[in-house]
């Protein structure tokens, strides 16, 4: 194993474990709620898609912060790196406060947009109205994690993720079954775990800022600059999240798919897909941090070498993930539901998802490289192009017999395939290789 591999693994292994732990917040919720009944699980599915979309749109708080902090670190200015990170945390607090208020007020309308039955909608509204209280802690966790990744520290987020998820599982079981709070107990447990996790991460960032005399008070120009730089990543994320929403809409509203069984099956499948996506994203996290640092140092050749090596790691990780998903597909449904129809339908859906995992490994790595390079404008346009290709494909696929399976075929080969083509084309060029602490495009 060469020095490049060791550097990638030093960042990627803790990031892998942390990223696997993060979606366990929803996986543990799904496992606990799924045993309450299929309507409860379907309600959680609708609520989870909405919540993941809101939080996912703000993933720039982690990605953008990682890249900018890493560039300053590569340029040798640790104080500026931490100041940039603190601005990101303040931006997370501002956005989180707004999202919490709007989310609670709009919960009935957001759930109603999916057109599910009354019972499923009631469960979704109950969960979502409480879960929105955790929006600010979640966004603060994203920003603080981005700071630490930019500083080449992926171990601290791992420790927080493991402890926070363990606490979430305990609270879910106690509140849902011990106190008989039902689906509301699951949401309360998750929010409490998120608050404590966010407090831990912020404490680490604050301590580092004080050690290097970086400012902790809100810096409005810095916050505005962080928000302005995030616009392209927001557009990129919005387009990709819209693809996932289109897929859920196709399952819940198009053709003969709008049944509790299909919605519940799709929820389990998308949760497992997200779980693997976070796992595969570990190399992308390393890519963000190492690409930003090497470009901050002005080392273009090193950046190229890192990219080639990380692409190999992406392919390999995807092959392993796909094999694991395919082998577990006949058995994994039992962890989430007692409904045999859901278990049976889940198997072909997961097999389709398994085939696409190697491609996903490539896509996530290249996404991380370009984010680390600050190539947000191209990623935004690429995201819009992917949405334009995938949306009609998913809606048409849902009209076929066994439409749920065909929606997943479209997700695997159109959604991920288009991303792979566009990102690979960009990575072969030179326009993204901009050096310096603050890239100018």
pLDDT recorded at residue 1: 65
Return the higher-pLDDT residue of 376 and 202.
202
Task: Please report the pLDDT score of residue 184 as a whole number.
Answer: 86
Answer with the residue of higher pLDDT: 402 or 295: 295
- Dihedral (C-alpha) 183, 184, 190, 194: value to the nearest 10 degrees? 160
* DSSP per-residue codes, 312-345: HHHHHHHHHHHHHHHHHTTTGGGGT---HHHHHH
Classify residue 414 by its DSSP letter.
I
Q: Is the pLDDT higher at 441 or at 259?
A: 259
- CB proximity list for 195: less than 8 A, separation 6 or greater: 134, 137
pLDDT for 200 equals 96
Least confident of 88-92, 191-195, 255-259: 255-259
Per-residue model confidence as pLDDT tens digits over 106-134: 888 888 887 777 888 888 888 988 999 98
Smallest CA-to-CA distance from 65 within 155, 146, 149 is with 146
pLDDT of residue 20: 67
Tell me the residue ranges of DSSP E strands in 248-388. none
Q: Tell which phi-psi region holds residue 364, choosing left (phi > 0), alpha (psi between -120 and 50) or beta.
A: alpha
Q: Cα angle at 236 between 297 and 416, to 5 degrees? A: 100
Mean pLDDT of 75-90: 88
**pLDDT tens digits for 334-383?**
887 777 778 888 888 899 999 999 999 999 999 999 998 888 889 999 99
Q: Does residue 21 register a pLDDT over 70?
A: no
10 Å Cβ neighbour count for 250? 27
Q: 356 or 60: whose pLDDT is higher? A: 356
Long-range contacts of 249-252 (CB under 8 A, 24+ apart): 249/114, 250/394, 250/395, 250/397, 250/398, 250/403, 250/407, 251/398, 251/403, 251/404, 251/407, 252/46, 252/114, 252/115, 252/116
Q: What is the mean pLDDT of residues 318-344?
A: 85
Gap between the Cα atoms of 267 and 401, Å rounded: 20
- Report, as an integer, the average pLDDT of 230-239: 87
Model pLDDT for residues 395-405, shown as the tens digit of each residue: 888 888 887 88
Give the pLDDT confidence of 206-222 residue by residue, as tens digits: 999 999 888 888 888 87
- Predicted pLDDT of residue 26: 66
The pTM of this model reads: 0.80
Taking the C-alpha atoms of residue 171 and residue 313, their distance in angstroms, rounded to an integer, is: 36
For the chain, the average pLDDT equals: 86
Helix (H) or strand (E) holding 293: helix 260-296
Write the DSSP assignment of 175-197 as a string of letters: IIIIS--THHHHHHHHHHHHHHH
């Amino acid at each position: 194993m060469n020095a490049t591999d060791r550097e990638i693994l030093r960042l990627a292994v803790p990031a892998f474990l942390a990223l696997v732990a993060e979606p366990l917040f929803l996986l543990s919720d799904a496992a606990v709620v799924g045993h309450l009944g299929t309507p409860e699980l379907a309600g959680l599915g609708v609520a989870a898609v909405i919540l993941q979309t809101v939080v996912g749109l703000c993933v720039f708080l982690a990605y953008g912060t990682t890249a900018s902090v890493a560039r300053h670190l590569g340029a040798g200015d640790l104080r500026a790196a931490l100041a940039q990170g603190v601005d990101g945390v303040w931006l997370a607090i501002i956005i989180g406060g707004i999202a919490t208020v709007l989310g609670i007020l709009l919960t009935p309308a957001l759930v109603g947009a999916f057109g599910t039955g009354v019972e499923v909608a009631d469960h979704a509204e109950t969960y979502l109205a409480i879960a929105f209280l955790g929006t600010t802690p979640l966004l603060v966790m994203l920003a603080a994690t981005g700071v630490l990744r930019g500083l080449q520290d992926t171990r601290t987020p791992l420790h927080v993720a493991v402890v926070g998820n363990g606490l979430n599982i305990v609270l879910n079981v106690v509140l849902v079954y011990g106190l008989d709070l039902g689906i509301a107990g699951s949401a309360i447990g998750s929010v409490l775990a998120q608050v404590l996790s966010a407090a831990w991460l912020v404490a680490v960032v604050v301590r580092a800022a004080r050690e290097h005399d970086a400012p902790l008070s809100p810096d409005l120009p810095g916050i505005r600059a962080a928000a302005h730089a995030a616009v392209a990543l927001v557009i990129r994320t919005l387009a990709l999240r819209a693809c996932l929403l289109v897929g859920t809409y196709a399952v819940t509203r198009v053709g003969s798919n709008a049944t509790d069984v299909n919605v519940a099956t799709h929820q389990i499948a998308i949760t497992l897909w997200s779980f693997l996506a976070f796992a595969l994203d570990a190399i992308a996290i390393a890519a963000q941090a190492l690409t930003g640092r090497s470009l901050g140092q002005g080392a273009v050749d090193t950046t190229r070498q890192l990219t080639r090596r990380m692409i190999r790691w992406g392919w390999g990780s995807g092959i392993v993930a796909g094999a694991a998903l395919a082998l577990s597909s006949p058995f994994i449904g039992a962890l989430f539901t007692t409904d045999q129809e859901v278990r049976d339908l889940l198997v072909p859906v997961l097999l389709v998802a398994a085939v696409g995992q190697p491609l996903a490994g490539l896509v996530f790595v290249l996404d991380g490289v370009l984010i680390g390079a600050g190539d947000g404008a191209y990623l935004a346009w690429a995201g819009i192009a992917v949405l334009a290709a995938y949306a009609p494909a998913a809606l048409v696929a849902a009209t076929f017999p066994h439409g749920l399976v065909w929606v997943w075929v479209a997700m695997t080969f159109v959604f991920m395939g288009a991303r792979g083509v566009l990102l690979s084309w960009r990575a072969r060029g030179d326009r993204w290789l901009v050096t310096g602490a603050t890239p100018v495009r």
